[in-house]
Chain A
Amino acid sequence: MTTTYHPPPLPPPFHHTLTPNLTTTSPIPMELITQGAEAHLYKTTYLSPATPAALKIRPAKPYRHPVLDRRLTRQRVLQEARCLVRLVREGVSVPGVLAVDWDLNSNSNSNSNSNSNENGNGNENSRGEGQGEGNTGSEDNGTEAKAGNGAWILMEWIEGIALKEVFRGWEASLKDNNRDENTAEEQAAAAAEERVKALLRKIGVAVGGLHRAGVVHGDLTTSNLMLRPTPSGQQSGKGEKVEGDGDEGEIVLIDFGLASQSIQDEDRAVDLYVLERAFGSTHPRTERLFGEVLEGYRGSYRGAGSVMKRLEDVRMRGRKRSMLG
C-alpha cells in the first residue's frame, strides 16, 4: 500500500481552516487522528488557539440513497451529541459537546443564502439516482429531500492515553519479568498488578456511572476508555509518562457513536459483555482480572445487581437476544 490516503474535504466551516490566509494569526491545527467506518476524527481547536478540541466528521456516504443517508447521518450525530450532553449534566466523565452541525447542505460551500433554489442543478456532486423524483413533489420540503453533506460534532479534547495502551504496557512488562526470578522484581510486579486491579475497579465504577445516568455505550473497548491525568498531580516528581504506569488519573469514556439512552438490564448487561469480550481479545493476560471491573461496577449504583445477573444469561447466548439483524 504505497498510495497516500487523502481524507475527504472538510465540511464548512472547517474548509476555511486550512485555506492559507494573510492574517498574522498562526494557522489553526487540523490533524487527522483516526478514522473509522463512519467518521474521521481530527484534533483541532475551538474558539481560541488555546482550546484543543476533537472534531468528529461523519462524511456523506455516496453509495447510500441521498435521502436515507441524510437522515441516518443526522440521527446518528444527534444521538451521540444528546447522550454526551446528558452525561455531562449528570456529572459522568465524558467529553463535552462544543458545537454540532447535523444539517450540512451539499452545496453550501459559499456564504450564500441561495442554495435552496439551486436544488434542481445543484446535485452534480451527489450520485443519487432517486434525486429527481424526490424533488418534483414538494418544494418546501426541500431540506428533507436534498442530499446531505455529512455532519460534524466538535467536542472537548481529552488529554491522556487510552487504557488500551496502559494495559499493553503492563502486559509487555509481564513478559519480561517472567524470565528472571529476582524477588525485588517480583514484588514490583505484584505492586503493578495491584495498580492494574485498582484501575479495573475504576473502570467498573465509570461504566456504572454511565449506566446510572441512563446511557449505554454500545461499544465499550479499552480504546474507548481514556485515562486523563489528574490536573493536581501534574507537578508530581515521578511524572514520567511511561505507558503502563499511568494509573493516576480519571477514567473518561469516549466515542459515543453507538451509544443510546436505555435503562434496560439487557442493554446494560450487553455493554458489560462487550467490554469483557474486548478484554479477552485485546488483553488476554488481563482477562483473568476482569472480575475487578465487575467488582467496581457492582457497588456503583443501585441497579447493578440485577444487571450482573443478566450478564450471566448474556454470556450463555451472546449479545444478540432477538437474533434479528
Chain B
Amino acid sequence: MSSSLLDTIHLAHLPPSMAVHVAVYRDVQNAPFLRQQLLSANSEFEYAFIDASVVLSRTHALSAVFRAANDFMNGRLKSRNVHSEIVFSLNPTTNIAESFRKFGITDSTKDLLVIKVSVTPEITHDSVAAHLNQYVEGTPVPFDDETLSKIADVAKIKKAYKLGTLNTAPPNQANGTHDDGMKRLELSVLGAIALRGAT
C-alpha cells in the first residue's frame, strides 16, 4: 500500500526515458541507517535523500532535479552522480559538503524526501517503490505542495538561501497576502538554484 505513493514524473524537456521518482516519508525511524548507506557509497542506495524540512514546494524540489539532470546530460557533474548532484543543486553555493549538511539527510531527519532518476532502463517505478518500501521506515505521504508546506521550515529555508531579510508578506501591497510572499520566496530560491556557480 505504501509503495503506491511513489510519484513518477516526466519533467518537461528531459528525455522521455529519464523519469523522476519521488517519495516523501514522515516520521522516519532509520535516518542514521540510510545516511550510513550514502556514506559507505552503497550503490544499492543511490538516491537523493533530502531533509524535507528545507524543501518549500514541488517546484523547488523538481527545479533542483532539472538542474542536476541538465548538468548530468552536459557532462558537468560536480559530485559523484546525478543523485548527489540533486542535493548539491539545492545549495546556493558551490560547497558540496555544506550542501549535504544543509539539505541532505542527517541522523536526526524525521521528514524525508527521496528522489531517484531513471538513468538506466533498469530503474523503474516498481523497482524503486519496492526497494524504498523495504528499507525506509517511515510513513509515506504524497509528494504535493500541501504536504510539503506542512513540513517546510520557512525560517530555515530563508537562512539556507541567505534570504533572511526577504519579507514573506510584502508590505507595499494592500492585498499582499501570505501567498504573494511565498511565491516571491519560491522564485528567489529558484533563481539561487539556477545561478549557482555563475562566475
Contacts and interface: CB of A to CB of B under 8 A. Distances in A.
A91 B9 CA distance: 31
B76 interface: yes
Contact of B76 (A17, A91, A103, A232): A103
A91 B75 contact: no
B191 A113 contact: no
Interface stretch (A45-53, A215-223, A268-276): A45-53
Contact of A116 (B72, B75, B194): B75
A49 B172 contact: no
A89 B192 CA distance: 10
Interface stretch (B26-34, B61-69, B103-111): B61-69
A23 interface: yes
A100 B13 contact: no
A99 B166 contact: no
A97 interface: yes
A13 B16 contact: no
Contact of A113 (B11, B75, B184): B75
Contact of B70 (A28, A46, A99, A105): A99
A84 B76 CA distance: 25
Nearest to B161: A89
Interface in B47-96: 59, 62-63, 66-67, 69-70, 72-76
B187 A99 contact: no
Most chain A beta-carbon contacts within 10 A, residue among B163, B167, B190: B190
B190 A98 contact: yes
A99 B66 contact: yes
Nearest to A112: B75
Given A12-B74, A13-B13, A14-B13, A91 B194 contact: no
A49 B13 CA distance: 10
Contact of B175 (A103, A112, A232): A232
B36 to A, nearest CB: 29
**Which of the four size classes fits the interface of chain B?**
35 or more
Q: Which among A16, A49, A89, A101 has the highest number of chain B CB atoms within 10 Å?
A: A89
A86 to B, nearest CB: 8
Given A25-B16, A78-B198, A88-B184, A97 B190 contact: yes
Interface residues of A, number: 44
Nearest to A111: B73
A28 B75 CA distance: 25
B194 A89 contact: no
Contact of A16 (B14, B167, B192): B14
Contacts of B191: 81, 84-85, 88-89, 96-97
A67 to B, nearest CB: 16
A125 interface: no
B63 A98 contact: yes
B15 interface: yes
5 A-B pairs with least C-beta separation: A96-B187, A85-B191, A113-B75, A97-B191, A21-B16
Interface of A: 12-14, 16-17, 21, 23, 25, 28, 44-49, 51, 78, 81-82, 84-85, 88-89, 91, 96-105, 108, 111-116, 154, 156, 232
Interface of B: 9-16, 59, 62-63, 66-67, 69-70, 72-76, 163, 166-167, 170, 172, 175, 184, 187-188, 190-192, 194-195, 198
